[in-house]
Amino acid sequence: MKKAKLTKKQRKMRKLQKQAFKGQKLMYRSKFARSLTNGRSNRSLSGSLTLLICLFLLSLVMLFPVIFMVSNAFKPINELFIFPPKLFVIQPTLDNFFDLGELLADSLVPFTRYLFNTLFIVIVGAVGHIVLCSMAAFPLSKFRFPGSKLMSNLVVMSLMFSTAVTAVPNYVIMSYMGLVDTVWSVILPALSMSLGLFLMKNFMEQVPTALIDAASIDGATYFTMLWRIIMPAVKPAWVTLFIVAFQTMWGATGANFIYTENIKPMAAMLNQLSGSGVARTGVVAATSLVMFIVPVVLFIISQSNVLETMATSGIKE
């Protein structure tokens, strides 16, 4: 039986139907691809899936040491020495934390004293670092004066020097000032970290100068401009800077500067417990988890501010 020939009009209608079906299929695929990126990308479905798979594999690599550290903290001593090491704990226990608590209870200096020293160093150092960096970054970013470009270049160059390079000069300066074996020998070097100045300067350069000019016309002082106009606009920058400074000083032992036991920070005390030999391996694992948790919790609490887009009030120059 011969197939009936389609008329010209029927062939045209069938062609339009195929095109409409193909377009609808592409539209659904595009919608699914955009849903994977929360509607922020026009990538194809294959591109979005490939990117998500790569990010998932990368996240597994980054989470591996965290999972291993958390698992080790709850392992009994016999599981800690299994070879090859096991990623997950088989028989979880809290003995490591109980042993850590017993060691802290038997310490000559109360644990609360170590905690107070750490909080004092971290809070004073982080807040002071933000204040000093903001006051130095404001004129460098918003005013032009002789030597401003040279100072900005020196700040960038100072980022190349590691803490190992500046350790000896820091000790010489602290010794000359008579601050060795005090908490200020840990705080003052932290106040001068050039990373904070570099970060604040770059963020402040994005704030429209029109805001500064308007405040100047209204009779505002430079301190008023800084604390009431600039600082609220660069909130993501100084929140991020606080987290960086907090993490840096939270793990600072002050071993090169502090020798008196009752003014040492908590990190130094925990390092001393960790250096007691193989028998304290479980305590070392518990100590690592304790030192890790606090900065992570701080980041989780403030991550919305870190990721927030800097406010510019919609003004363009």
State the CATH number of the domain containing residue 115. 1.10.3720.10
Residues present in the chain in total: 317
- List the domain range (segments joined by +) for residue 134: 99-306
* Tens-binned pLDDT, residue by residue, of the chain (317 aa): 445 555 666 666 666 666 655 555 555 455 555 555 555 555 566 777 787 888 888 888 888 888 888 888 888 878 778 778 787 888 888 888 888 777 777 777 787 888 888 889 889 988 998 899 888 888 888 888 888 788 888 888 888 887 778 888 888 888 888 888 888 888 888 888 888 888 888 888 888 888 888 888 888 888 888 888 888 888 888 888 888 888 888 888 877 888 888 888 888 877 777 666 666 777 778 888 888 888 888 777 776 665 554 443 344 44
In this structure, how many other beta carbons lie within 10 angstroms of the beta carbon of residue 172?
Answer: 10
Q: Is residue 189 part of a domain?
A: yes
The domain tally of the chain equals 1
Count of helices and strands (H, E) across the chain: 15, 0
- Whole-angstrom distance, CA of residue 298 vs CA of residue 4: 75
Query: Is residue 56 domain-resident?
Result: no
67: in domain: no
pTM of the model: 0.71
Sequence-distant (≥ 6) Cβ neighbours of residue 192 within 8 angstroms: 132
Cis check: omega of the bond before 110, within 30 degrees of 0:
no
In a domain, residue 60? The reply is no
Does residue 262 lie in a domain region?
yes
Q: Evaluate whether residue 44 is within a structural domain.
A: no
Q: Looking at the domain assignment, is residue 147 inside a domain?
A: yes
Q: 33 lies in a domain?
A: no
Quote the crossing angle between the two packed helices 184-191 and 111-142, to the nearest 10°: 20
CA-to-CA distance for 124 and 290, rounded, in angstroms? Answer: 22
